[in-house]
Structure 1
Amino acid sequence: MQGSPTTGQLKVLRTRVYRGPNIWAYDQAIHLLVDLGELEAFPTDKLPGFTDRLMEWLPGLEHHTCSRGHRGGFVERLREGTWLGHVTEHVALQLQQEAGHDMRRGKTRGESGRPGVYNVIFDYFDERVGVSAGELAVRIVNELLVSTAEFEFQDELDRFLRAAGRKAFGPSTAAIIDEAVSRDIPWHRLNQYSLVQLGQGVHAQRIRATMTSRTSALAVDIAGDKNLTATLLGSAGLPVPKAITVRTAEDAAEAATKIGYPVVIKPLDGNHGRGVILGLASEDEVREAFPLAADQSRRGVVQVESFITGRDYRCLIIGGRMAAIAERVPAHVIGDGEHTIEELVDTTNADPRRGIGHEKVLTRIVVDDAAVELVREQGYAMSDVAPQDEMVKLALTGNMSTGGISIDRTFDAHPDNVEIAEEAAQLIGLDVAGIDFICPDITAPVRETGGAICEVNAAPGFRMHTHPTVGEPQFIAKPVVDLLFPPGSPSRVPVVAVTGTNGKTTTSRMLAHIMKSLGRKVGMTSTDGVVIDERLVIKADASGPRSARMVLQNPRVDFAVLEVARGGILREGLGYDRNDIAIVTNIAPDHLGMHGIDTLEQLARVKAVIVEAVPRDGYAVLNADDALVRAMRRRCSGTIVWFSMEPPGSRVREFIDEKCRRGARAVVLEPSDRGEMIVLKQGRRSMPLAWTHLLPSTFGGTARMNVANALAAAGAAFAAGAPLHDIRQGLRTFTTSYYLSPGRLNRVEVNHAEVFVDYCHNPPGMHRLGEFVQGYVDQRQGAAEHRISRIGMVGAAGDRRDDDIRELGRAAAQYFDVLVLREDDNLRRRAPGVAAALVEEGVREAMADGARCRQVLTVLNELEATRHAVHLANPGDLVMLCVDQHGAVLAELESFTHQANAGARTDDEQPGDPDLDPQQLATEATEASAVEDTEWREVVDAQPVGAKLVE
């Protein structure tokens, strides 16, 4: 196609923010799904003038290397011809560069099967700035295609930069975060301001600007009361000015006379130099200045103190030791004999280092009434031209927040002055303190030259030290981080991520149980909720990234076990930066046809994200029996721990044995005349762990899925450093009771029939559950007086494909004599009865082919279906209830026991468990369903799986 489009526009179909490793990148990233439409036929070389105008607007793109690997590589791609999705990626990165965020990595990939649709991925530091950069990048590209009157590039850029500045961390917070990142200390922003958590779990510390978790609230209060501060310092023999606190202008004039002129008036509890008036020489000046100071005092109290002449120095004390000293010079301009003072102010404020407030390393000078008056006192008006090299002050105080500049004096201070500053900080009790000296020269002892400490500041700003106007910057964030995390101390808790199609919840619980026996405070997420040290704190589907962050923020947690579902990975990524151990149980058909995941290979790539998040010193515990899981070893930077159910001599076991001979680790089964032994292998060593038939969770070895789960949990515990004895004891004491494993193979006896409650909801899980039913019944049949009937209750999630729902019915029909079909409370956008009808189709197809099932009934309500299934059972029969809301079902089963024993007891003596109150659990089930539905609705269509983000 020749020519260029006249109305073509780049459209954003979806924006997604990944807060951790994801299917596109190893780090957090922004993902835009964009549609080029007719622009697909117009790469940049077919758009006349496009590249030149883009480079005129954003010349920084010249530095982008792109895939060429050298400066100017992206410009080469532009002139040769590249598509506009790729251009959007680089523009978004450059906009973040303009905002001071050094983001360099991105990628653009076409959407499979959708011509003109592209996945644009790029790094971000602050997600709000990243999203804004992506939105503006799309607008810029569209404006370059078709100009509009309402779009002015410089105005849009300025608006973006101002917004980014408001959202960005201040210089002090940014310096501490940069230091933490350099030490591999994880951090998380807790609000939209400067409250930040450093570290995880029990190791977590918090900062707000330069105030830390170790800053004493009492010390902050003392430092905020300038009169009390002066009193305490003076009583310790430190040099301080004479001071009197007052509440009225008359009292201020009287105090000034008593102290002796000149004096200083300041708010008792002010900050940033606001309301401080210096050098007052008469009662009239004091009365006039009083309202200005009182207006900046939260309590209306003003301090009058003697005026100490000299230079203004800020001594930064961290952990009781001097870290940096800066001389603060008040806001001023230097005359050049040509320009007016007003023009010189404008020129000074044009310095790109100056911004509004604390957004940049310097603050713009504000010309207010006080500044105009000060200029007048120096003999000038703002419209006057000052002589060459004449300094004209625009503020009396040297605070950076009023437009002052700083000169580094760290290595110039006299030792006596350093000692005085350190003692002052210790007397007040601040871990990070700013000691303000007024003295003729910091290089001479203040006790001899007549200087004094005029203020002690809590949460002092760092930018005068990290970005001095004159002199070398000081790396003062290091001692702050040293205070919070002394060298050699940990900042992270061990994180174990568990994923797979089936078994991940039980594996997580087994591992948490083992680590609890070691005395660890385990934080765990699962589809049932968030558990902190065996306490269920949130009841909901908590297998997503937000729940993971909640656990890692909890100050009690010293070991994290996180169940990771594919929905959360697609929606937000992992939500944390890495996991020390990754467990992948299996990959089987479930959730296919949803959110762009149509094949097992694509599902495996999603699940493999946790394996890719394993560091070099970490471990991946992989199911060697599953070919797709086995292939994940190529994505792991750490050590592989294999587990397998295959017998010795099989191809998989030969593969594992070969790896072990080379030093690998594995957890396998070794059969013998006495049964199967779980064996840990490391190199050529074999360490017996436990007999499978003696583990309560395996029901004599018949629950093969729990044998596999035990192998995975043992491998992860071994990788985490747990002793063999504790792993063994943990597996021996883990049961499938409702208290340790709610909703996972819970056994209840009702009317002398054995009833099991399980969460099974997909065909592969149904086959594993059916094999357990077969083995368990065979084990019991010999001692039974009659043939044991198998009754099953089955339901399918409505968001599965029709064929998958039918397959669930076909699988269930192979193992049960009678099937009762139900539906979930959340129908997943299907009409009532539709999902159950699809299951019934599958059941009847299997029955026609000779399956075991002889009767199928449909009772849509879960609790009614539960009652129906139990009433069908005779004493000794087995009932398997595949449930959605296990709490409500267990409560209903408990009511059967109540009814059976009602005639023998009074109301006050009714047996049963208070934790299984039917009414309460029914309410909780409804609430949990609502939360799960909210999570599910947030998982919008996902992209096909792509390659990883690289430089």
Structure 2
Amino acid sequence: MSHRHIEFLRMTHLRGPNIWTYRPVIEAWVDIGELEHSPSNTLPGFYERLTAWLPGLVEHRCGVGERGGFLLRLREGTWPGHIMEHVALELQTLAGMQTGFGKARQTHLPGVYKVVIRTRHEAVGRVAMEAARDLVMAAIEERPYDLAATLGQLKQMVDSLCLGPSTACMVDAAAERSIPAIRLNEGNLVQLGHGASQRRIWTAETDRTSAIAEGISRDKDLTKRLLSTCGVPVPEGRTVANPQEAWEAAQDIGLPVAVKPSDANHGRGVSLDLNTSAEVEAAFRVADEEGSEVIVERYIPGEEHRLLVVGGRMVAATRGETATICGDGRSTVAELVESQINSDPRRGEEEDYPLDTIRLNEHHTATLELQRQGLNADSVPAAGRVVTVMRNGNMVNDVTDLVHPEVAAQVALAAKVVGLDIAGVDLVARDISRPLQEQGGAIVEVNAGPGLLMHLKPASGQPRPVGQAIVDHLFAADDTGRIPIVGLVGGEETTMVAKLVAWLLHLSGRHTGLACADGLFLDQRRLERGSALGWEKGQRLLINRAVQAAVVESSARHILAEGLPYDRCQVGVVTGMPGAAGLEEFYIHEDGQMPNIVRTQVDVVLSEGAAVLNAEDPAVAELAGYSDGQVIFYAQSETAPALAAHRAGGGRVLFLRGTALVLASGEQETRVLDLTMPALSRLTGSLGVKPGELLAAVGAAWALDIAPDLIRAGLKSYGQDPAVH
């Protein structure tokens, strides 16, 4: 500690529940050197420089619990590790990643701190932590700091690495219902739920979205024919092969017409209200560049609307607006587009912008629209002249509450006819609050994988909870997408307990995965030899769609190094309090530090679940208060103090009375088996299962509501299947 600098000793991504929180975090070990003797209130000008760079720090409540709390700590005096925590969180927030949890704790070594921040992506969190160190040092040393460059880098990372807004809104909605989420790739493929109960989403598509339906929706001509057959109003039209056919079709259909690609997307290549052969033929060329086929159809007067259908129900609607500019007599069309349209903060190139940026040199439909008005990008419109740049693709105004019930029913029917569980239905109508037929309105497109941002961030009107609607479509009201997970922590005996519990779950009729120190198993078939402890092995079970229940053994080391591989569990078993030996690299030197680590296993027990705890280990018994669910104590002696007190209060316990294994809920008792039974001789003899291991396994099975008769039969038969070993 001889330097006036902040040095990173180690930086770890804890990917699951850990000693700090339920969520993934970046844990950085930092040595602040001589700065240990220089709290913030002793550094001239530090407060002013830091708050000038990051005025948003005023919102950090810190331990004070109110706005401005962290700034109060800064003025009173706090240390660089704690300051780094808040700076890193603020940098993530400014980059568009909302996080709020952070901790800074000193280790037993002077000047060495563990700094922890919540992050939604490992790479972003690491860069934010490193940038926080550099910014804090710049403020200490009165040096300039390029905050704009740092935020630019972080924003780019958030945009490219984190979930897009459509997927994120569904993940957030799932979290509100306690449905777990696992990101399956670097894109937007996400698993909601675990194992056999999971569903998958990919932006606004789900594993219920039919590939055939998606193919139909891309063929606009086929979509219209199917809709028309089922009585859904659609504009008359047909596919054409060249500009001449396009004009012939326009004359047959009747002017004005619209020309569009058969696989139009986001309004690209779509031209409206065409009245002359020159306009139609030019529109054909624009559409032909965008799609595989070109359609000419009757132009429907009115305003464009996008209605979102989820699970057969209309859940949101937006109305479009025409993009226009107003001439000033000095600026060109291109300059006016930049200053009056693209300057809108809602426009951008990324998915999280509800409106696209208009690039005249790339957007041929806009170019054609200008030509129809006798203009081009270099023209200078007269002052006050209103110029239409784009007629479609600007769905920005929420009108959900105005949609007529008949219109809602027709768009739901359109999605059903195509076969899409989630669809964006485009229609044109003068008044969305009236039935389509009476105003000559029509449905013009049915789209798979619709964008959701227009409903989440409309320019006017109320944002709609479309993510919640999709999650409710995938999961029934009482379904959290969870499978029974049994998590175990303790000593060496935990492995045998895990194998016994997996066997009993298997016999109960569930396809059961097991990750333990002896390997990775599925339905008693060994998939991998060697230790299967750790985050990656446990996740493999939860991703497997065949797994109906999972048993996952963990250790204090893996909790410290990675976090648990699941967010919550139905049953958490602690067989004993491990010692601190071997954990020195984590700054764990005393056995008294272990309960704070092992309690993580109890912290994650669901409210409808149970913690199964060894009552004969006082340190384990004291963890009972951390369980959100029930507590089941086990001990070889029914007089064990913690067990006896718990039973006296009406709690569930199990113990040995002589050689009999007894379950008790308050005064009610059930005798499960006698350890001297000949049928158990293999279990307790050659397999060497100890009474404590047997009690822990039975306690977990009891917590899973496995019947005593099945528990008894399972223990008798354990070890007879050679695939187990």
For 1:336 and 1:706, locate their aligned partners in 2 and report how far apart those are by CA, in whole Å: 89
Tell me how far apart the structure 1 counterparts of residues 130 and 583 of structure 2 sit (CA, whole Å). 30
Structure 2 residue corresponding to 1:427, chosen from 407, 417, 429: 417
8 Å contact from structure 2 (residues 633, 646) kept in 1: no
1:130 aligns with 2:125: yes
Residue type of the alignment partner of 1:554 = N
Change (3 A) 1:102 1:589: closer
Alpha-carbon deviation of 1:462?
A: 1.7
**Which residue matches 1:356?**
349
Deviation readout 1:101-151 (Å, 9 max, x if unpaired):
3322211111212x22211112223333333322322232233344778x5
Once structures 1 and 2 are overlaid, which stretch shifts more, 379-388 or 225-234?
379-388
- Residue 603 of structure 2 is matched in structure 1 by 612
Map residues 199-238 of structure 1 onto 2, 5 A cutoff. Answer: 199-238=193-232
Counterpart of 2:548 in structure 1 is 558
> Is 1:175–2:176 an aligned residue pair?
no
1:601 aligns with 2:592: yes
Q: Greater CA deviation, 169-178 or 698-707?
A: 698-707
State the match for 2:645 in structure 1. Answer: 658
* Alignment deviations for residues 606-639 of structure 1 (CA, whole Å, 9 cap, x no partner): 3332112223332221122223323322433332
CA distance in 1, matches of 2:491, 2:326: 71
Find the counterpart in structure 2 of residue 679 from structure 1. 662
Deviations 1:462-515 (A, max 9, x none): 222222111122223333222111212342112110121111111111111112
Is 1:518 the counterpart of 2:518? The answer is no
Q: TM-score, normalised by structure 2?
A: 0.92
Shift in Å, 1:589 = 4.8
Report the alpha carbon displacement of residue 301 of structure 1 after superposing the two structures with TM: 2.3
Superposed displacement of residue 699, structure 1:
5.5
The alpha-carbon distance between structure 1 residues 373 and 737, as it changes in their structure 2 partners (threshold 3 A), is closer
Instruction: Go from structure 1 to structure 2 and tell me whether the alpha carbon gap of 1:262 and 1:538 turns closer, same or farther (over 3 Å shift).
Output: farther
1:208 to partner: Cα distance:
0.9
Q: In the alignment, residue 306 of structure 1 is paired with which amino acid?
A: R
Q: Which residue of 1 aligns with 2:273?
A: 279
Q: Distance in 2 between matches of 1:133 and 1:166?
A: 15
Question: How far has the Cα of 1:738 moved from its partner?
Answer: 4.6
Q: Is the Cα contact below 8 Å between 1:696 and 1:735 reproduced in 2?
A: no
Aligned residue in 2 for 1:121: 116
Contact 2:208 2:421 in 1 (8 A): yes
Structure 2 residue 154 is the aligned partner of structure 1 residue 160: yes
Give the match for residue 657 of structure 2: 670
Shift of 1:228: 0.5
Tell me: CA distance 1:330–1:144, structure 2 relative to 1, closer, same or farther (3 Å): farther
Post-superposition CA distance 1:22-44 (Å, at most 9, x none): 12223322211122123222222
Within the candidate set 232, 256, 273, 1:262 is matched to 256
Which of 708, 711, 715 aligns to 1:727? It is: 711
AA paired with 1:144?
A
Q: Are 2:521 and 1:528 equivalent residues in the alignment?
A: no
Q: Distance in 2 between matches of 1:625 and 1:375?
A: 83
Flag the 1:459–1:599 CA change in 2: closer, same or farther, 3 A: same
Indicate which of 70, 73, 84 corresponds to 2:69.
73
Match for residue 50 of structure 1? 46
Aligned position for 1:624:
615
Aligned partner of 2:182 among 177, 188, 197: 188
Distance of aligned partners of 1:332 and 1:20 in 2 relative to their CA distance in 1, 3 Å threshold: farther
Q: CA deviation at 1:405?
A: 4.6
Task: Report the alpha carbon displacement of residue 544 of structure 1 after superposing the two structures with TM.
Answer: 0.9
- Whichever residue aligns with residue 465 of structure 1, its letter is H
**Aligned partner letter, 1:688:** R
Say whether the 8 Å CA contact 1:331–1:365 is kept in structure 2: no
1:332 and 1:189 map into 2 onto residues whose CA distance is 41
Are the counterparts in 1 of residues 92 and 125 from structure 2 also a CA contact under 8 Å? yes
Q: How does 1:291-310 map to 2 (within 5 A)?
A: 291-297=285-291, 300-310=292-302
Among candidates 316, 325, 344, match of residue 324 of structure 1 = 316
Inter-CA distance 391–473: structure 2 relative to 1 (3 Å threshold): farther
* Structure 2: stretches of 5+ with no match in the other structure: none
Candidates 444, 450, 453, aligned match of 2:434: 444
The answer to whether structure 1 residue 466 and structure 2 residue 456 are counterparts is yes
3-state SS of paired residue (1:411): helix
RMSD: 2.8
User: Do the aligned partners of residues 728 and 44 (structure 1) sit closer, same or farther apart at CA in structure 2, a change above 3 Å counting?
Assistant: same
TM-score after normalising by structure 1:
0.71
Q: CA deviation at 1:655?
A: 3.9
The aligned counterpart of 2:25 is: 29
Task: For residue 616 of structure 1, give the secondary structure of its aligned residue in structure 2.
Answer: strand
The residue identity in structure 2 corresponding to 1:631 is E
Aligned pair partner of 2:559 in 558, 566, 569: 569
1:602 shift after superposition: 3.2
Match of 1:144 in 2: 139
Q: Deviations over 1:706-751 (max 9, x none)?
A: 32111101011111111111111111111276532x2xxxxxxxxx
**Does the CA contact (< 8 Å) of 1:186 and 1:492 recur in 2?**
yes
Q: CA deviation at 1:57?
A: 1.8
Equivalent in the alignment of 2:635: 644
In the alignment, the residues of structure 1 paired with residue 256 and residue 332 of structure 2 have an alpha-carbon distance, to the nearest angstrom, of 31
d(CA) in 1 for partners of 2:583, 2:156? 43
| 1:92 aligned residue | 88
Question: Alpha-carbon deviation of 1:386?
Answer: 6.5
Closer, same or farther in 2 for the Cα pair 1:238/1:324, shift >3 Å? same
Greater shift, 615-624 or 548-557, is seen at 615-624
Whichever residue aligns with residue 174 of structure 2, its letter is A
Give the Cα–Cα distance (whole angstroms) in 2 for the partners of residues 595 and 279 of structure 1: 72
Given that 1:315 and 1:435 are in contact with CA atoms closer than 8 Å, whether structure 2 keeps it comes out as yes
Q: Distance in 2 between the 1:348 and 1:35 partners?
A: 50
Aligned pair in 2 of structure 1 residues 365, 46: CA closer, same or farther (>3 Å)?
Answer: farther
Residue 605 of structure 2 aligns to a residue whose secondary structure is coil
- Quote the offset at 1:593 in angstroms: 4.8
Sequence identity of aligned pairs in percent?
37
Cα distance in 2 for partners of 1:94, 1:211 equals 33
Q: Matches of 1:491 and 1:442 in 2, distance apart?
A: 37
- 1:395 aligned to which of 378, 385, 390: 390
Aligned partner of residue 595 in structure 1, secondary structure: helix
Shift, 1:384, TM fit = 4.2
- Contact 1:501-1:586 within 8 A present in 2 as well: yes
Q: What SS does the aligned partner of 2:390 have?
A: coil
CA-CA distance at 1:271 after TM superposition: 1.6
C-alpha separation in 2, matches of 1:443 and 1:420:
13
Task: Give the Å deviation of 1:312.
Answer: 0.4
Q: Counterpart in 2 of 1:197?
A: 191
CA distance 1:441–1:580, shift in 2 (3 Å):
same
Which SS does the other structure have where 2:402 is aligned?
coil
Cα drift, residue 362 of structure 1 = 4.1
Q: C-alpha distance in 2, partners of 1:280/1:620?
A: 70
Structure 1 residues 493, 368: CA separation in 2 closer, same or farther (over 3 Å shift)?
same
Give the distance between the partners of 1:467 and 1:568, measured in 2 at CA. 41
Q: String of CA shifts for 1:828-869, please: whole Å, max 9, x gaps.
A: xxxxxxxxxxxxxxxxxxxxxxxxxxxxxxxxxxxxxxxxxx
Give the Å deviation of 1:684: 1.4
Paired with 1:209 and 1:661, the residues of 2 have a C-alpha distance of: 53
TM-superposed CA distance for 1:74, in Å, is 0.9
Task: Judge which range, 168-177 or 352-361, deviates more.
Answer: 352-361
**2:674 aligns with one of 661, 669, 691:** 691
Distance 2:282 2:337 in 1: 29
2:99 matched to which residue of 1? 103
Task: Give the unaligned 5+ runs of structure 1.
Answer: 743-951
1:12 and 1:565 map into 2 onto residues whose CA distance is 26
